[in-house]
A = this chain, B = another copy of it.
Amino acid sequence: MALHPDRLLPAEPGIRAIARRLYDGVAGLPIVSPHGHTDPVWYAEDPAFPDPAALFITPDHYATRMLYSQGVRLEDLGVARRDGTGVRPDGRRIWRLFAEHFHLFAGTPTRLWFEHSLELVFGIDERLTPQNADALYDRIAAAIATPALRPRALYDTFGIEAIATTDGALDDLAHHDAVRRSGWHGRVLPTYRPDAVVDPEAAGFAGNVERLLAMTGEPATWAGYLAAHHARRAFFKAQGATASDHGHPSAQTSNLPADEAAALFDKVLSGKADAAEAEAFRGQMLTEMARMSQDDGLVMQLHPGSFRNHNPSLFEAFGPDKGADIPKATDYVRALKPLLDAVGNDPALTLILFTLDESTYSRELAPLAGHYPALRLGPAWWFFDSPEGMRRFRETTTETCGFYNTVGFNDDTRAYLSIPARHDMARRVDCAYLARLVADHRLDEAEAHDLARDLAYGLAKKAYRL
């Protein structure tokens, strides 16, 4: 059951040998994690992690959605109901339930990340079964009580060089400030994520904007609102941020004349905007954010195309982020045009695009990124943060936009222990891809070594200005 040293490398012996050499050159590189969702309090206060279920199962929507799809109730996995009802099972019960259903994860990245973490962090090289569930639970529980498993120690164990969190525009970044003031050597960067004050359809939008304006002392006008964003971005930047992040339903952008934008702002703030106006406002704000990036140098990231909270009864009972966000067909060519017309030719701007619609890679994204100086492609994301997903990403983009219009790997996770597993997977899959190009005589091995280092380390650092 133990992790095989050649896992995820091509099985054909000749190609595997090349891939192995490439991988050996990057396996030990530091981890640069420019986009993710770990909790900054971990770095600020260095707490022990709670029990194994809370560490591996309950907060991981990849894990809970699979069990839910097969009839397991979320309550039984420790997911809290919004109304507070329901008995919350203890960690051991959740862990046993997970063990009973562990076969469901065969062939999924969740299984690979989980087993990587078990072995490399806890020294466990047995497959989880109902029979050994209790014993493994005890071993993990004992280990996470030790100082070596605290977040700051793991930061070093994992070889992290820098890690970004994702933070709302209204966040006071107190934990980031505490990290900096603590003198600890770790580098933890906030990321400006203004969705809650940008999306008129977000819960509490008007109140959020009110708070934004109050925090910055700006008036409730279009100019004041933009100035407030400027100020918050400056604050984030002062706390180390190098990037902003934008999760929108679509990639729609707008570039309205200032008076129309101002009128639209008034309307969305009044709560009277319809869906099309909300979409136009979000789109306008992407263009505004891109212009602010031209000024302040924050790298901009756009993650469109998820139908959030597709399951209303689940959303009502448990809230967002419970595995019911479903990708949808996404257009970039028409949608991004207003923004690109305005700023796409600026090589000083970096706008990183992600997708959940793989058909766009070869059709739209690689052609766009292979032309516009401002565009780069983010790595395979979410459901495609997987061996086949990453392979298809390279196969459908490289020939059109090359490697240097991509930005290395994002782990994009809130599961701290999975970070080395995810980076390791990406490094292996990229080395496998490069090895196939070498074996086909499309690349020399020497340049493949350089590319492997760039894909594993250099491109992320450069694209995110770290």
Residues of chain A whose beta carbon lies under 8 Å from any beta carbon of chain B: 1, 3-4, 6-15, 65-66, 68-71, 103-109, 112, 127, 307, 310-314, 323-324, 326-329, 331, 333-334, 337, 340-341, 344-345, 347, 356-359, 362-364, 366-373, 375, 383-384, 386-389, 395-396, 398-405, 436-437, 439-444, 447, 450-451
Pick from B15, B103, B341: contact of A312, CB under 8 Å: B341
Pull 5 A–B residue pairs with CB atoms less than 8 Å apart, ordered by A.
A8-B440, A11-B439, A69-B369, A69-B370, A107-B398
B447 close to A372 (CB less than 8 A): no
User: Which residues of chain B are near A310, meaning CB under 8 Å?
Assistant: 333, 337, 340, 371
User: Which residues of chain B are near A359, meaning CB under 8 Å?
Assistant: 329, 357-359, 363
Closest to A313 in B: B345
From residue A356, how far is it (CB to closest CB) to chain B in Å?
7
B383 close to A107 (CB less than 8 A): no
A70 close to B373 (CB less than 8 A): yes
B399 close to A328 (CB less than 8 A): no
Pick from B6, B341, B395, B400: contact of A108, CB under 8 Å: B400
A399 close to B327 (CB less than 8 A): no
Query: Of A68, A363, A442, which is in contact with the most chain B CB atoms at under 10 Å from its CB?
Result: A363
A13 and B384 CA atoms in complex are apart in Å by: 29
A37 and B436 CA atoms in complex are apart in Å by: 33
A13 and B439 CA atoms in complex are apart in Å by: 11
A239 and B15 CA atoms in complex are apart in Å by: 52
A197 and B331 CA atoms in complex are apart in Å by: 31
From residue A197, how far is it (CB to closest CB) to chain B in Å?
27
B7 close to A371 (CB less than 8 A): no
Pick from B1, B314, B383: contact of A367, CB under 8 Å: B383
User: Which residues of chain B are near A371, meaning CB under 8 Å?
Assistant: 65, 68-69, 310-311, 323-324, 326
Pick from B68, B127, B326: contact of A373, CB under 8 Å: B68
User: Which residues of chain B are near A436, meaning CB under 8 Å?
Assistant: 11
A462 and B365 CA atoms in complex are apart in Å by: 36
Given A329-B331, A333-B326, A441 and B363 touching (CB < 8 A)? no
Given A334-B328, A341-B313, A358-B359, A370 and B12 touching (CB < 8 A)? no
User: Which residues of chain B are near A312, meaning CB under 8 Å?
Assistant: 341
B9 close to A437 (CB less than 8 A): no
Closest to A4 in B: B441
A104 close to B404 (CB less than 8 A): yes
B441 close to A8 (CB less than 8 A): yes
A419 and B384 CA atoms in complex are apart in Å by: 35
Closest to A327 in B: B363
A11 close to B12 (CB less than 8 A): yes
A69 close to B373 (CB less than 8 A): yes
